[in-house]
Structure 1
Amino acid sequence: MIIMNKQNLSKLKLFLVGLQNRFTENSSIFNGITVKYTAGLKEFNGIGLYENDIIKYNFNGKTECYSIEDLLDKIICETEKYDAVEFTYKERGTNVVITADNKNVRMSNVSVKEDNDADKPLKTSSLLNRNYYIKVGMADALLKEIGIMTKDGKIKNDKIRKYNQIDRYVELLEGILDKLPRNKIINILDCGCGKSYLTFVLNYYLTEVKKIKCHFIGLDHSETVISASKNMANNLGYRNMEFHAMDIKDYCPNKNINVVISLHACDTATDMALALGIRLESDVIIAVPCCHKEFLSQYKYEPFKDITKYGVFKTRLADVLTDGMRSLMLEAKGYDVSVVEYISPLETPKNLMIRALKVKEDNDALMDSYINLMSTLNVYPALYDFLNNW
């Protein structure tokens, strides 16, 4: 047996110190480790699973609990007895593999596929002809947990439209989220999260595909949906998520919030989420509004009276005015705003997504325009009220 030389042992130790720092920076996506020692033709395997902030490590038939620092020290000590070692540090979506022997020490990152069918084309003809962001095979555990995929790995026929919607959601957010810093944890606040399906999808994509460090906070007044979201996070092993049953207006963050999202929050709940994002000076604000009721009973515009006497026109115009003034307020607060169709209007008329990226200081001229519109239309928007009287 050729014992590994001291120079390569020192190099291996440096690599493991780097992994210890990686763990410290983002332990929420760490899953565990495997170690394979080689002595001649014999192999000796160790397996460590991460549970409740400790690593349960089994080696030579004995299981003991370690901190990451103590376990890596133990592995270095054990390596001195063998001529080669293969160490795998497992994260969500990525394995870091280190191999060391008497000749060399190497480290590589390996993307993790959830099954052997990840590269096989889908046979369901109803799926869109597109390169999906949330791929079957790679994202099977996620798709099964949120009810889009069957246990045997097929997209459910009645969930194809939902699958296309969540993929479109990721597509629309990718470009704007790419503008956020990559050297720190991105904190994402979901206001009125409900069952959090799209938040789970975004978590998967940012963490396992884009390799972005992120942490998610979900708020909803319903204890039932918060409990369901917590169970889903636990089932998926998504430890970079927290959920709270509370009103948006009562939330006081203990960390800097980089992204605020609001998906189908009814009526003025969307305004509450936008106001919170503005008050927190969030780098990005994303909103997909749902029903609009507030302006319908308020706005009056004399030149349009002979048109708005028709109820359907008055309702549709109220929707446009509501989201238009929301977008204008975001611009007045220094955000670069774009409004796009999230899904086809054939599926629902409530299909707009407002995307806002903080790029500059407040714009007083746009705020004056906003105030003038309030007067002209005889409206007092909830967003304005929340920003000034919250």
Structure 2
Amino acid sequence: MNKQVITKLEFFLNSLIQRVEENIDFVKGVEFIFKSGTKEYKGIYNFDEGTLFFNGNKQKIKFDQIAEIIKNESQKYESLGFKLFERGKTTIILADNKGVKLKNVDEETIAVSDEHDTAALNLKRDYYIKINEASELLKAIGILTKDGKLKNDMIRKYNQIDHFVELIDAYLDELGELDTINVLDCACGKSYLTFVLNYYIKEKKKKNCYFIGIDTSDIVIQNSTKIAKQLGYRNMEFIKGNIKDYMPEKRIDIVISLHACDIATDLALGAAIQFNSKAIFAVPCCHRELLEQVKFENLNEIFKHGIFKSRFSDLLTDGIRGLLLESAGYKVSIVEYISPLETPKNLLIRAIKVSDRNVKAIEEYKKLKNLFSIQPYLERYLNL
């Protein structure tokens, strides 16, 4: 290639390298092919190892050295095809003696569903996490089989995580123009939501993100770490520990929690308040804390039926949680997450930070606290 083309190519590569260094967590790899006549000479850069394999040789180099290497090699060949693979897109540079072209293309994957799979789904629904686009992810977290078929025992889970994404999608846009959205998953378990949201925010919403999962189980932390490595999701970390002892090193923008038992949900909500999180999305599980506390003589004839007292305590617990979040300056909505036919634990608490405090909500909370003789755990995270 001539000098004029090589100079322009070097400029393109240096600009690309600068962008990569600012978003290194989302880069999958680099490939390039030089051509002379009918012969091709392929190069591959491995980010994990920091190695370049080219012309049968493997060498340890820094990524920012690639531009210089390609510039020097370009003098020997007629054309170059360069590809940078990132999460959600591929950047391509094509160069020959006629000039240099750069283009970005969204990732495409092969459709994997068949009649058996789609028959199990809601065909009228426009899924946010589409099987044919997110097959690599869905295989890794166990929703699809290795050959890309939806597992019968994972249909409900797939529908649940997709509906969760639907319910918080608009709220993601309310977070403003953050350089990176940092998400904390409390009691992350198998981390279905964490992996799916990572994919959706980065590859569909085209926003940078970073995920932290925390759980007390060694096994789930090890497994989630393994899956993240398998997917090449370097913008994730998983920590063994208790959320009440956790102090983040990063700003926390979103806190999520799915079916954390009893006060574990309050620990997640409390952490969000303590970290001044911009948004909270929590699906509570069992409720035991207020069941033994709640007292209201006017309802004794109703509460003598244990099931009524239990259901009332469930509603009171989540209602109080919503009110306490409002008192901390959050705009709160509580909606059905999935059908109650799938699980009675089907409420989603959505909260967006809008102010420092809400005095009216504090006063209303105090009235209810006295009325039902309760001392909710979440209160200790607020200065009331």
Relative to the length of structure 1, the TM-score reads 0.93
Kindly indicate whether the alpha-carbon contact (under 8 Å) linking 2:274 and 2:381 is maintained by their aligned counterparts in 1.
no
Q: Please give the secondary structure, in 1, of the residue aligned with 2:137.
A: helix
Aligned residue among 20, 24, 31 for 2:21: 24
Q: What are the Cα deviations for residues 188-232 of structure 1, in whole angstroms up to 9, with x where unaligned?
A: 101111111121111121222222211111111111211111122
Q: What are the Cα deviations for residues 20-54 of structure 1, in whole angstroms up to 9, with x where unaligned?
A: 222222211211111122334433221222214x2
Match of 2:9 in 1: 12
Deviation at 1:78, TM superposition (A): 1.9
Deviation at 1:122, TM superposition (A): 6.9
**For 1:117 and 1:226, how far apart are their aligned partners in 2?**
31
RMSD: 1.9
For residue 223 of structure 1, what is the amino acid of its counterpart? Answer: D
Q: Which runs of 5+ in 1 are unaligned?
A: none
Kindly indicate whether the alpha-carbon contact (under 8 Å) linking 2:117 and 2:150 is maintained by their aligned counterparts in 1.
no
Match of 2:282 in 1: 287
Q: Please give the secondary structure, in 2, of the residue aligned with 1:264.
A: strand
Match of 1:234 in 2: 229
Deviation at 1:118, TM superposition (A): 5.5
Q: Please give the secondary structure, in 2, of the residue aligned with 1:107.
A: strand
Aligned residue among 37, 40, 43 for 1:43: 40
Match of 2:121 in 1: 127
Kindly indicate whether the alpha-carbon contact (under 8 Å) linking 2:265 and 2:282 is maintained by their aligned counterparts in 1.
yes
Q: Please give the secondary structure, in 2, of the residue aligned with 1:345.
A: coil
Aligned residue among 272, 277, 286 for 2:272: 277
Deviation at 1:167, TM superposition (A): 1.0
Deviation at 1:120, TM superposition (A): 7.3
Q: Which runs of 5+ in 2 are unaligned?
A: none
> Number of residue pairs matched?
383
Deviation at 1:109, TM superposition (A): 1.4
Match of 1:153 in 2: 148
Moved more, 130-139 or 320-329: 130-139
Match of 1:328 in 2: 323
Match of 2:340 in 1: 345
**For 2:177 and 2:83, how far apart are their aligned partners in 1?**
24
Q: Please give the secondary structure, in 2, of the residue aligned with 1:379.
A: coil
**For 1:77 and 1:178, how far apart are their aligned partners in 2?**
45
**For 2:67 and 2:197, how far apart are their aligned partners in 1?**
32
Kindly indicate whether the alpha-carbon contact (under 8 Å) linking 1:182 and 1:212 is maintained by their aligned counterparts in 2.
no
Match of 1:264 in 2: 259
**For 2:7 and 2:319, how far apart are their aligned partners in 1?**
61
For residue 324 of structure 1, what is the amino acid of its counterpart? Answer: G
Aligned residue among 120, 132, 136 for 1:137: 132
- Identity within the alignment, %: 49
For residue 50 of structure 1, what is the amino acid of its counterpart? Answer: F
**For 1:121 and 1:338, how far apart are their aligned partners in 2?**
38
Moved more, 185-194 or 362-371: 362-371
Matches within 5 A, 1:181-220: 181-220=176-215
Indicate whether 1:165 and 2:160 are aligned. Answer: yes
For residue 344 of structure 1, what is the amino acid of its counterpart? Answer: S
Kindly indicate whether the alpha-carbon contact (under 8 Å) linking 1:5 and 1:102 is maintained by their aligned counterparts in 2.
no
Indicate whether 1:253 and 2:248 are aligned. Answer: yes
**For 1:214 and 1:363, how far apart are their aligned partners in 2?**
30
Q: Please give the secondary structure, in 1, of the residue aligned with 2:119.
A: coil
For residue 64 of structure 2, what is the amino acid of its counterpart? Answer: E
